[in-house]
Amino acid sequence: MRESEQKFLEEVIGRILVINLGNLPLFIYKSSKTPGYIASYYIDIQNADKIGDIAAVSHPARTKEEFLKSKLMNVTSWAEKLGLKSGMQVKRAIKILEQYK
């Protein structure tokens, strides 16, 4: 793995919030560069879209590493304008939110 990729992953993993709920944890990544966020499974994407959030919801995950590898299930129309798409890997979506090249 390239050094820049390793540094990126270390920074990202340190900024993922984990809340233990029910049978699966809730993971939330809040961008430092945009008002966007990515959350795992529990967030209602339709409500996020209605209130104008730049948001995406991923498939369920059990660890931060699984969260980063998981795919986006849904994105708000606001997130689509930034380039996020359903089926995109969470790690790639974070790079878009952070405008990381």
pLDDT, tens digit, 9 for 90 and up, residues 34-75? 899 999 988 899 999 999 999 999 999 999 999 999 999 999
Q: Tokens 């339709």 — which residue?
A: 46
Q: Which residue has the tokens 């993971």?
A: 27
3-state SS class at 45: helix
Query: Which residues does residue 58 pair with via DSSP β-bridges, in sequence order?
Result: 40, 72
Per the model's pLDDT, the better-predicted residue between 60 and 2 turns out to be 60
Alpha carbons within 13 A on the beta-carbon side of 23: 2
Specify the pTM.
0.89
Hey, what domains does the chain have and what are their CATH numbers?
3-97 (3.30.1980.10)
